[in-house]
């Protein structure tokens, strides 16, 4: 024997889960979760936060579950979807969600963002939105195999309307 007490497999999982919970609490403040953290029976991702709008991020699309919401507090549930595969030299291992408001001048103003979502991760973003036209986009620019890839120009943008 090596001097360590024997731990049953079920007990080991409980110890690991408790340690992960302690570490998560110690880190605090980050609403990012991985698919592994949100697994429910059958390998399905747990439900998104109540009242939030799911926004799927995948190569090369931003897919909100609805195209509009009433003005006020809006929570987006940004999810780097696992329903796509990444090819060699394709990029897209990390996605962002930016919420941009179209100003009367036609310029866009950054209202809020979630950055650095790896495949399978999700994060809630709650914003106070006024009526108007918005864009939901991924503005990641990366260098892959000697080529610069802009997620926005590859099509990762969707229109979104906030109603009064």
Question: Can you give the CATH number for the domain in which 138 is found?
Answer: 2.60.40.420
67 inside domain:
yes
Domain with 65, as residue range(s), is 39-163
115 inside domain:
yes
Helix (H, G, I), strand (E, B) or coil at 7: coil
3 inside domain:
no
How far apart are the C-alpha atoms of 83 and 85, rounded to whole Å?
A: 7
* Pair type for strands 72-80 and 121-129: antiparallel
Domain count, the chain: 1
6 inside domain:
no
**pLDDT exceeds cutoff 80 at 140:** yes
Q: What is the largest CA-CA distance in the chain?
A: 74
What pTM, to 2 d.p., does this model score?
0.71
Q: Which residues contact 92 (CB under 8 A, 6 or more apart)?
A: 58, 59, 60, 86, 149, 151
Please answer whether residues 58 and 105 qualify as being in contact, where contact means their C-beta atoms are separated by less than 8 angstroms. no
Q: Position of tokens 């060699």?
A: 88
Q: Is the dihedral of CA 141, 154, 53, 81 positive or negative?
A: negative
Query: Which pLDDT tens digit goes with each residue over 88-136?
Result: 667 888 999 999 999 999 999 999 999 999 988 999 999 999 999 999 9
Query: Which pLDDT tens digit goes with each residue over 45-100?
Result: 456 899 999 999 998 999 999 999 999 999 999 999 876 555 566 788 899 999 99
9 inside domain:
no
Please answer whether residues 153 and 146 qualify as being in contact, where contact means their C-beta atoms are separated by less than 8 angstroms. no
157 inside domain:
yes
Query: Which pLDDT tens digit goes with each residue over 13-30?
Result: 443 333 333 333 333 334
13 inside domain:
no
């Amino acid at each position: 024997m090596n001097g360590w007490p024997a731990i049953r497999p079920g007990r080991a999982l409980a110890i690991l889960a408790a340690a992960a919970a302690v570490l998560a609490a110690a880190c605090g403040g980050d609403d990012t979760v991985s698919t592994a953290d949100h697994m429910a029976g059958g390998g399905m991702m747990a439900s998104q936060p109540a009242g939030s709008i799911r926004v799927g991020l995948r190569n090369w699309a931003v897919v909100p579950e609805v195209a509009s919401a009433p003005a006020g507090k809006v929570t987006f549930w940004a999810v780097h979807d696992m329903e796509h595969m990444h090819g060699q030299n394709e990029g897209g291992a990390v996605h962002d969600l930016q919420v941009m408001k179209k100003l009367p001048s036609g310029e866009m103003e950054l209202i809020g963002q979630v950055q650095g979502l790896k495949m399978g991760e999700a994060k809630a973003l709650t914003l106070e939105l006024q009526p108007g036209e918005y864009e939901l986009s991924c503005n990641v620019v990366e260098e892959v195999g000697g080529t610069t890839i802009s997620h926005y120009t590859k099509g990762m943008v969707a229109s979104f309307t906030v109603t009064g």
